[in-house]
Amino acid sequence: MTANTRVPLIPQASEGLSRRARYFVEGHGLRVPHRDLKPYREVWLEQGIPDAEIDRAVAFQELWGGLALPPSPEYEGGPRVLEADAPEGSAADGWRFSAGSCRVSMAHGFMIGPGGEFGIDADHWTPLHAGTEGWVEALALASHAGYWARTITKVKGSAVEDLDLDGFEPVPEVQGLADTWWRGKDSLVAVYRGAASGFNAPHCLRASIYAGLDAWGLGGT
């Protein structure tokens, strides 16, 4: 992308997102200049990267590339800007590509997995959400719940396993895998297992309890 290419600063949210997430993206996000990956196709093909995997990276870049969102409560904020790069991997182990560079120096990177999962590449690949939409929905829900909750309680390590989630229902829009959100009568619970799983480190388990929420605070949609 040339330096003088104009990019609208206000991003247009994906139609697949909830109303809450669309408001979050359009109200709190920015779209910054990002690379066009199409010119890299021939070079990547020569490197042995399958055409279908290049298609996936190009499609991600066209939909999400250049999107800068407020930081996540965990993973040191998540990617600074969503940005695809050359796919890496193999047919046996699966192909992945970068989801964007870290905000700070981290022991893991953010990747898009073989099935479109959004996750971290730590000691081993750990999908956090089934899709990038799930990551964005989780960011939006954390922002929303953090604003409306009367109290926010942080839980770490083995105490996360002791949380009583009886009567809570999973929040489907976050497409939770290692990371999940749970909705109760007046509270939301976010459980972050990604780092603990990716590094085989149970002490890295994290959870946030957003309590004292009314009906709007529980959903915001």
pLDDT in tens, 68-80: 999 999 999 999 9
Q: What pLDDT digit, counting tens, does each position of 157-180 carry?
A: 999 999 999 999 999 999 999 999
* The pLDDT of residue 115 is above 70: yes
Burial per residue of 72-107, b for 16 or more beta-carbon CB atoms within 10 angstroms, e otherwise: bbbbebbbbbbbbbebebeeeeebbbbbbebeeebe
Looking at residue 2, what is its pLDDT? 42
**pTM, two decimal places:** 0.93
Looking at residue 7, what is its pLDDT? 57
* The pLDDT of residue 132 is above 70: yes
